[in-house]
Amino acid sequence: MLNYILRKLALIIPTLIGISICAFAFVRVLPGDPILAMAGQHGVTPERYEILKEQFGYNLPIWQQYFNYVGGLLQGDFGVSLATKRPVLNEFFTLFPATVELALMAMLFAVVIGVPFGVLAAVKRGSWIDQLSMSVALAGYSMPIFWWGLLLMMFFSAYLGWTPVSGRIALSFFLKPITGFMLIDTLLHGNWPAFVSALRHLILPAIVLGTIPLAVIARQTRSAMLEVLGEDYVRTAKAKGLSSRRVVNVHALRNAMIPVITTIGLQVGLLLGGAILTETIFSWPGIGKWMIDSISKRDYVAVQSGLFLIACIVMVVNLIVDVLYAVINPRIRVK
């Protein structure tokens, strides 16, 4: 097991180097000059331009810029945002809890709805329930997030008034952040109405963000279930005269969940990607919205380091999933 984890960790180093090169190159391939972008409508004098260029190291050869950048990363220096002139790392971790909170809720929504529907579709294979849930899953998978978000918002918030339109909590609550997780903070403050408000604000964005994972999980659960239901041990269990409910819930589901857990882990990257749109629609103050804002402000330092940090997080999550998977399924370790 330890061996397996070490092997996985060893893979991280080349991956990190790859990610840093990609993030660095991506920002340099983007059109536009960061120094000019900083200067705004009036532009800068040529002398000042040269000074700034030197100050930010943009006058150096590209490979040297890269090594300076990586050198900074190694010392935990992720650079200073061109827009706010503040360390990028601070901003990232100020906003990150909001994204995690939203992603967890979205995942919860996707699993709680997706798994039962997947199981049901497999058990009642070919029935109308199967066909309906699979068509809904297909629709969910192909839904443009932007359109879906605005649609739900217009109907449930603006028209029916059931859920808030956007933001993380009603503006009448003014709570100092403690952990950055709104649901936890409101409870720590002992403010129950604020907790409810935070929860209400989570509903629509979590549904919108969870829609695609929901569809993927439902389909994955269905096919994993179908496979397992055809196995000998399930037939044996049935032959022993166990109730079909027990066969499905205990014998089949546990084994079918193994690939589903991997899928869930892989969805994390997708969730962070989806968060960019969802957070923008719902004015959710997380890293997704921050990335979009940074791109539109041409805050290249923020984009470059933000991309790197997001990639690192996705990688760590995938590593954890791999390890968990190996714990559940010993065969993986040997391969």
Partner 1 sequence: MKLMKTLMVATAMTAVVVGTAQAKQLVYCSEASPSHFDPGPQTGGNDFDASAHTIYDRLVEFAPGSTEVVPGLAESWEISADGLEYTFKLRPGVKFHTQPYFTPTRDMNADDVIFSFERQWKQDNPWYEYLPGMTWDYFQGMDMPGAIKSLEKVDDLTVKLTLNEANAPMLANLAMQFASVVSKEYADQLAASGDMASFSTQPVGTGPFQLVDYQLDSVIRYQAFPDYFAGKQPIDDLIFAITTDASVRAQRLIAGECDIMPYPAPADIPTLQGNDKLTVLEAEGLNIGYMAYNTTEAPFDNVNVRKALSMAVDKQAIVDAVYEGAGQVAKNLIPPTMWSYNDAVVDHVYDPEAAKKLLEEAGVSGLTTDLWAMPVSRPYNPNAQRVAELIQADWAAIGVTANIVSYEWTEYRERGKQEDRKGPFQIGWSGDNGDPDNFFGTLFSCAAIGVSNYASWCNEEFEALIQKAKATTDQAERTALYEQAQVLFKQEEPVLTLAHSKVFMPMNKKVLNYTMSPLGTHSFVGVDVAE
Burial of residue 68 (CB within 10 Å: 0-12, 13-18, 19+) is middle
Output 63 or 174, the one with its CB closest to partner 1. 174
Which token pair is 21? 């090169």
Task: Report the DSSP beta bridge partners of residue 87.
Answer: 80
Chain residues binding partner 1 by CB under 8 A are: 30-33, 36-45, 48, 52, 55-56, 80, 82-86, 91, 94-95, 150, 153-154, 157-158, 161, 164-168, 170-172, 174, 176-177, 192-193, 196-197, 199-200, 280-283, 285, 289-290, 292-293, 297-298
Q: How far is the CB of 282 from partner 1 (least distance, A)?
A: 7
Output 290 or 308, the one with its CB closest to partner 1. 290
Q: How far is the CB of 208 from partner 1 (least distance, A)?
A: 12
Which token pair is 34? 């960061």
Output 34 or 210, the one with its CB closest to partner 1. 34
**Cα 161 off chain centre by:** 28
User: SS3 for 80?
Assistant: strand
Contact 214, 140 (CB under 8 A): yes
Q: How far is the CB of 68 from partner 1 (least distance, A)?
A: 15
Q: How far is the CB of 240 from partner 1 (least distance, A)?
A: 38
CA distances from 140 to 64, 81, 118 (A): 46, 37, 14
Task: Report the DSSP beta bridge partners of residue 80.
Answer: 87
Q: How far is the CB of 184 from partner 1 (least distance, A)?
A: 16
Output 157 or 318, the one with its CB closest to partner 1. 157
Output 64 or 283, the one with its CB closest to partner 1. 283
Task: Report the candidate in 31, 97, 136 with the shortest Cα–Cα distance to residue 275.
Answer: 97
